[in-house]
Structure 1
């Protein structure tokens, strides 16, 4: 009996509410809107760590960053921050199960090649890296990928040699071309394909104008928690900047335009699956590694506990094998691997730390919490903490999210700032403008976090 195929489509920096059918933001996604009518949408899906590399490693391994070791972005001058060859990923498992496996697009899980002034033969620069054939590709036989590069109009890729494949086409469109070719060549086999689109990740000036122009006459509503003066990222690694209202709305339209471009290319894949009688037998997942603040709370990018940064789409179809509609079960990146393997009827490796939430696809609500986190990633900050005799892994923040509340335990990013602890009421305080600060007395959320920290050897309470 032929097993179901798996098509895992994930974008970078795409927040959950930036989809038309969620009715929260003025985003044009007619194809995803239609797709949602024959899929299940998790309305409480979160990134386990709202940063590219840690989130991707967690999705692939089903393990927390503290366990797989990718605690921040893979970048130069960091010790041992990359996905190790001995980690068991969903790609490794699917290959052993006989699937034709493929990975297309952004990887960002290897140690950058260009360090200490060297010039690699691959031409990789900055955070980028060529991943050679072998165990570093973690079971993905077909490989058309790059490490980390944000040139959306002139992307480059590596296949089976260090020679770059340079392209003059918007990356989403080109990667969709490659995906369709892979599916066409493997449609008679069991295939598992992961497609990692980089947009709507910045820069927002590299989006085809045809998609941006669709928003010309659309009135963009500014969220109640948006602040346009002295904008900064959460770990405070960039110089503060400000937007005029007009410039900000233009940026939002560009962000939305990138998502509309994804929507249009997504439909090319769905049409091919349906035209070739593959849709009913293919598990299609649409998600992201993390969200985007877009100036909510005066913050840019991600790396913070707010919903705009942590929340991601998670939409799944599998013909008539799952219930359609919305499900409020809390799910995070660490739960994706075990849940998908369960639906595929494949044994879940003992190394996996996430939960199997597959019963949710039969329409069940499953009581669950998501433990999410960010660790220090700035090289200078890490050096300073170590010089002071501190463990950098004890800093940053952790959160516990239920359907109704978000609890945050923040140790700051230096040894001098006080620890803070607070909760948000998720439904009553949609924009997270009213944190409820907690005293030092024990509370149920701290208890849950302490148990998690003890189980996974996270030193957050040992600052």
Structure 2
């Protein structure tokens, strides 16, 4: 912990209980676990006896929200008690060494506990930055064992992505090589050693499992247990049962050491289940809820959450009030009788809910990339929604503002915006009062495209990435706008490469302008092109001198935007050659400085 912060805590914490009476805290965070992926939450095809028993011994939440539907911002909000934007990490941190993540000026849960005399430990996944200041030991943890990036192979402990693939397992800043040893079992082994060493002070252990995140690598006994379950549910369920068994071993260890009665155990998932290709398209269970990881529908942000503390909080209690992962830190401070004056926390203590108190109506805000949402009472409004679960049809134009009532319709199957326009306006106004909103976040109603090229042909001289190939070259002239969601099937994505295309009109035509629509989403490493050039020809052989339009410098750091690069056409033409120049690598000011970046184009509009 930084000395200046320690001094601040010495000054600002008061009314503390005696050190030996403060409870230990074991915080178990799982990764990509579906909204209802526990037997006690209704997934009756699962064997999860240990977590079911944990729920029976404490409080289970049924409307528990995370602050973001992806890994890093969700974890940043959890550890700081502040929304991801206030915490300084609105999108996923880079997994590569040398890239910062959550700013070290943020005060973490570990630093709060350390200021109260706790020994603090991190075991498992980090994914909040990979520089000295932003790794665990720089963020308030006395001990750390785990991987710094978003995921690893559980046996080789390598981070596999598009490259460079690398080994990623560390203990207190030293790289360690227990090759072939199963990472979830290593986590339990290290956790037991950490707990056993704490005889003088209470401990806070942040136990952040990499399960059931891909790669789906369950213990073989559980794969056999689910052998008659179809994939991908088979391996996903087996990973959940593997996880449950290991959590059970950790809880049993606390019992054996006589520590269970004085240890608060919290369990939750960081967000909804994954539908990504690496997860074989799914496997998780969200029950009636629409959405998944990356989405602000309920299936992306509503998660299982449990707290247990024997003899101190009720057993077998269900809390149905909406709560947030940002509430954990205020709750812990309430439990330990600490009164923080710095910094401002956004969550609220949940202790009154354990005694059936009726809280005042709360407003919840989310913003992830181009998506945003606000919930007040039973009403929830999502701007620019996306739904990787594809559970119900979603029209990117008509549903750009999606109103739901999760109390009456947890499935969010139908957009109620047309039925309750007054609720749309009220929630929109609430959202615009939030400090992290922008007026440009509100979707605009645009007239239908009238693209003269839609009856012509398009060809690509550079191939898009297979993951973002949409309908190939035809995507450029399909007369459909891509939404602000780059994965909506209307965008062509090029990683580190330029886009070069030729548009052929049905005949020589008199045209006035050409517009090339491009996307920027900085959290996803998508940049507007440096420049776009256009050349014109009547015969497809003799082209005019290219005309170039540079990116507006004012937009270089705009987080999310769809921008049109516009060219005045020379009148009669039939062939148009377009070259969009990729940024190539992220600039020095970006969190992924030096990494490959993306160029996304969706339509070449000829008018």
Question: TM-score, length-normalised on structure 1?
Answer: 0.76
1:21 to partner: Cα distance? 1.2
- Residue aligning to 1:320: 311
Aligned pair 1:454/2:466, yes or no?
no
From the superposition, tell whether residues 319 and 311 of structure 1 become closer, same or farther in structure 2 (CA, over 3 Å): same
Secondary structure of 2:414's counterpart equals coil
CA change 1:308–1:412 in 2 (3 A) is closer
Q: Secondary structure at the match of 1:456?
A: coil
Q: Does 1:274 align with 2:248?
A: no
CA RMSD of aligned residues (A): 3.1
Show CA shifts across 1:287-329 (max 9, x none): 1111115458999961102222212111001111111211102
Alignment partner, residue 298 of structure 2: 307
**Matched positions, count:** 391
- The partner residue of 2:224 within 213, 221, 231 is 213
Query: Which digits, 9 at most, give the CA deviation of each residue in 1:344-394, with x for residues without a partner?
Result: 222233321222222112243435446243432xxxxxxxxxxxxxxxxxx
The structure with the largest helix share of the pair is: 1
Shift of 1:106: 0.7
Which structure has more strand as a fraction of its residues?
A: 2
8 Å contact kept, 2:184–2:243: yes
Residue of structure 1 in register with 2:47 after alignment: 28
CA gap of 1:286–1:132, structure 2 versus 1, over 3 A, is: same
Cα distance in 1 for partners of 2:307, 2:82 equals: 21
TM-score by length of 2: 0.59
Structure 1 residues 438 and 177: CA distance shift in structure 2, 3 A: farther
For 2:252 and 2:266, locate their aligned partners in 1 and report how far apart those are by CA, in whole Å: 15
Instruction: Measure how far apart 1:160 and its partner are.
Output: 2.9
User: Which residue is 1:261 aligned to?
Assistant: 242
Matched, 1:198 2:191: no
**Do residues 361 (structure 1) and 363 (structure 2) align?**
no
Correspondence 1:417-456 to 2 at 5 A: 420-438=400-418, 441-443=421-423, 446-448=425-427, 450-451=429-430, 453-456=432-435
**How much does 1:213 deviate?**
1.8
What is the DSSP-based 3-state SS (H/G/I as helix, E as strand, rest coil) of the residue aligned with 1:437?
A: coil
Q: How far, CA to CA, are the matches of 2:435 and 2:197 in structure 1?
A: 42
The structure with the larger Rg is 2
SS in 2 for 1:269: helix
User: Where does 1:15-414 land on structure 2 (aligned, <5 Å)?
Assistant: 15-75=34-94, 82-110=101-129, 129=130, 131=132, 137-148=138-149, 149-155=151-157, 156-204=168-216, 206-217=217-228, 249-294=230-275, 302-324=293-315, 325-348=317-340, 349-369=342-362, 371-376=364-369, 395-400=370-375, 402=377, 404-410=378-384
Between the two structures, name the one with larger relative contact order (CA 8 Å, sep ≥ 6).
Answer: 1
**1:208 to partner: Cα distance:** 1.9
Structure 1: unaligned runs, 5 residues or longer: 111-128, 219-248, 377-394
Secondary structure of the equivalent of 1:200? coil
1:87 shift after superposition: 0.6
How many angstroms does 1:187 deviate by?
A: 4.2
Go from structure 1 to structure 2 and tell me whether the alpha carbon gap of 1:460 and 1:141 turns closer, same or farther (over 3 Å shift).
Answer: farther
Contact persistence 1:104–1:143 (CA under 8 A): yes
Name stretches of at least 5 consecutive residues in structure 2 with no aligned partner: 1-17, 158-167, 276-281, 388-395, 443-607
Q: Quote the residue 1:380 is aligned against.
A: none
Could you tell me how far apart the structure 2 residues matched to 1:374 and 1:259 are? 29
